Chains A and B, each alone.
Chain A
Amino acid sequence: MQSEPRIIGFLCNWCSYAGADMAGTSRLKQPASVRIIRLPCTGRINPLLPLKALVDGADGVLISGCHPGDCHYREGNLYARRRLELLHRFLPFVGIDPKRLRYVWVSASEGQRWQAIVGEFTEQIKKLGTAKAQ
């Protein structure tokens, strides 16, 4: 893959978006591969959103929310965890590489962790190559 991969990030407003923001304001170097979509909560993520991103040709989807137990709305990410795990396990059944999807928990103070995750995931997606739009 020549250019940066296209990764769609679904981030919750309260923890992960703030965490990513922190990575930015602390000038931690990270690849410009992730296009972030900010949502109120990972519980808002209908699994069809990341799935549509993948089906329509995103090279990867990275989802991040508050750590379980720390959800701003108490339980949104706990519903999300079940849905996203199911999505992850379903993808290979329809021929989509599950390595293109990752869901993580990043808090508002974990700028460095975010930097590491984005770096790692971008590398992983680069190895997989460009996804074919379906």
Chain B
Amino acid sequence: MKDILAELKKKAAEILPEVSYFICYGSGFDLLHSAPLFVKDKGDIDRLVLNRFCIHNLTSYLPPQKWPPGWLLEPGEKIGLVLKGCDSRSVIHLLAEKAILRSRVIIIGLPCWGMIDVNKLRNRIDINRINRVEQDKESIMLFTDANEVSADIKDILYDKCINCQYPNTLISDHFIGAKKEPDKGVQPFGKVLELERMSLLERSAFWDKEFARCIRCKACRNVCPVCYCQNNCLLDTRVPHWIKERVDANSNRWYHLIRAFHLAGRCTECGECARVCPMRIPINLLAMKMNSELFELFGFRSGIDVNIKPPLMTFQLEEDKL
């Protein structure tokens, strides 16, 4: 990815005069993390990074533009954005929902080789003491003062990256680098199918345990690119009072069921909700299950085509599969 960083910086400098700010990646708090970076001044362009730790879906930082003009964006104001393939699905979905305006975003697209899941390194080395990282396309070397390990990249990628169906940004104004071939034979709902092999009772017990661990920090909602209701989020609304503030397994279950239904046919499977969960609850699976059913019923995949109406926003008098 290093080779396209220079190109990205060049492009960013080019579009900067057109946009209020440019959302991209900068270095994080240590060598194993990157962080979202908001660039306003030309001088900051050198702070851009592009590496195996740029996991964040930057779509989540786009202000929802259906708010009244001037509330978050001035009329005509534009925002620049760098997007990976998977993240571009969120933008496409927001466009399909008419939540954002195409004319207000300038997108730089790129090919992606997959991001490293730092959690998969935890049992190999003390990840808090890394002081040097070396990597190439296939492997990574990590060094602490006392220790060093090397790992095959493919063993430590995020699950969603291991079989990536959309490695190239699907919608962009500028595409940098050469397109990457998508992985073959991808089973997009693999994790859902795994869970479905359990019996009803086992699955019930599985979720009971997961929901009991949730601390209702709402990070999963806050990070979600399609959870843009902000002050109107049902989970924060007292009138009507859909959900208790109390944090226990039952209200947590209800919290997640509400979200699952609000995400049906809208979730773009970026996995951010599960990634940010401090309790490591695989909470993305609920919305993924919705998506797998909508795929089976209507052949619908969210965030692929701006012109396809999401299935729950429409109907047919004669349904093929209902």
Contact = CB atoms under 8 A, between A and B. Distances in A.
A93 B315 contact: no
Interface size class of B (residues with CB under 8 A): 20 to 34
Interface stretch (B60-68, B108-116, B162-170, B252-260): B252-260
A100 to B, nearest CB: 11
A95 B257 contact: no
Contacts of B257: 48, 51, 55, 94
B188 to A, nearest CB: 16
A51 B317 CA distance: 25
B229 to A, nearest CB: 14
Contact of A134 (B203, B250, B260): B250
B248 to A, nearest CB: 11
A2 to B, nearest CB: 23
B168 to A, nearest CB: 31
B261 interface: yes
A94 B207 contact: yes
Interface string B287-321: 00110011001000000000000011001110100
Interface centre among B208, B261, B311 (most CB of A within 10 A): B261
A68 B317 contact: yes
Interface in A82-128: 82-83, 85-87, 89-90, 92-97
Contact of B312 (A51, A82, A93, A95): A82
Closest 6 CB pairs of A and B: A95-B204, A78-B315, A93-B289, A89-B293, A95-B203, A85-B322
Interface of B: 192, 195-196, 200-201, 203-208, 242, 250, 253-254, 257-258, 260-261, 264, 286, 289-290, 293-294, 297, 311-312, 315-317, 319, 322
Interface of A: 47-48, 51-52, 55, 68-69, 75, 78-79, 81-83, 85-87, 89-90, 92-97, 134
